[in-house]
Amino acid sequence: MKTELKALIFDVDGTLANTERDGHRVAFNAAFDEYGIDWHWDVDMYGKLLAVTGGKERMKFYASEFLHNQNLPDNFDTLVPELHAAKTLHYTELLSTGAIPLRPGVERLLQEARTENLRLAIATTTTPENVTALLEHTLGSDSLDWFEVIAAGDIVPAKKPASDIYDYALAEMNLAAEECIVFEDSHNGILSSMGAGLATIITVNDYTVDHDFSGALLVLDTLGEPDQPFTVLQGKANNHTYMDCALLKALHNK
């Protein structure tokens, strides 16, 4: 007899909402402008930079990988956290305009999971303020309480693809990996969740559609809606056309 499905754990960036191209990227560029730094990350370059999770880590990766640490701004190492704080302000301001909606099916599935008493959590590398801003401006302030644990940012020493953030969320909820299903969107994300032993459903986006999702429970284009069916890219969805708790329980029991 398999264990009962008790909780759903969600990644944020790329999974709850497509925040990278029109959110984080734009905010990084605004912070560079604010500080008079002549860096501009276009859509293609930003895709390459997503190889590294975490904004501070991403700036250092850009400096080493693409600029070979040449001609960097003065005091670059101490500037990075400052630039990152400025970027977080630009990002949260952008979200407060309602610029970035949730992906299809996300709100419906969260609501259904609450009705069915499935426990909810978040595990992300992004800064905690960014999660709060996204939830508040899409689902309303009350939605922060829907999540028993919001594991985010520098709370653990190693960001995804390390499993630390998922290990942390499981420990906080006192749950075994077998009792949960994770929603992710990227290769680094699934490496992290599978590293913690967690079954993982993927919804891809433009930046991650070609990633390796070996071992995923299911790979979809979106979670789908009753009038907006998902496309199954890998795995079997038992003739369902959108993600709901019945499909989650069936997948969990397999």
In the complex, minimum distance from the CB of residue 68 to ligand XBP, in angstroms, rounded to a whole number: 23
Q: Among 120, 168, 170, 123, which Cα is nearest to 145's?
A: 120
The tokens describing 30, both together, are: 């605004």
β-sheet bridge partners, residue 120: 8
Site size toward ligand XBP, by CB under 6 A:
19
- Smallest distance, Mg ion to C-beta of residue 145, A: 23
163 binds ligand XBP (CB under 6 A): no
Q: Which long-range contacts (CB under 8 A, 24 or more apart) does 232-236 make?
A: 233/204, 234/202
| 126 is a contact residue toward ligand XBP (CB under 6 A) | yes
95-124 binders of ligand XBP (CB under 6 A): 124
List the one residue out of 214, 216, 243, 247 whose CA is nearest residue 231: 243
Q: Among 9, 13, 163, 201, indicate the residue that binds ligand XBP (CB under 6 A).
A: 13
CA-based Rg of the chain, rounded to a whole angstrom?
A: 18
Residues of span 30-59 touching ligand XBP by CB under 6 A: 53-55
Asked whether position 23 contacts ligand XBP by CB under 6 A, the answer is no
Q: Using the minimum distance from each CB to ligand XBP, give the nearer residue, 130 or 237.
A: 130
- Reading the block at residue 242, the tokens are 């959108």
- Torsion angle of C-alpha atoms 238, 243, 248, 254, degrees rounded to 10: 20
Work out the angle at residue 198's Cα, subtended by the Cα atoms of residues 192 and 203, and round it to the nearest 5 degrees: 70
**Shortest reach from residue 142's CB to ligand XBP, in Å:** 23
Shortest distance (Å) from residue 226 CB to ligand XBP: 27
Residues tagged active-site: 11, 13
Question: Which listed residue (160, 211, 240, 252) binds ligand XBP by CB under 6 A?
Answer: 160
Which residue, 23 or 244, is less far from ligand XBP as judged by CB? 23
Least distance to Mg ion from the beta carbon of 184, Å?
A: 6
Q: How many residues does the chain have?
A: 254
- What is the footprint of ligand XBP within residues 172-231 (CB under 6 A)? 186, 188-189
Contact with ligand XBP (CB under 6 A) among 92, 127, 143, 193: 127
Task: Please state whether beta strands 218-220 and 199-203 pair in parallel, antiparallel, or not at all (unpaired).
Answer: parallel
Show the tokens assigned to 26. 């734009």
Residue 23 DSSP one-character state: I
Positions touching ligand XBP (CB under 6 A) are 11-14, 20, 24, 53-55, 87, 124-127, 130, 160, 186, 188-189
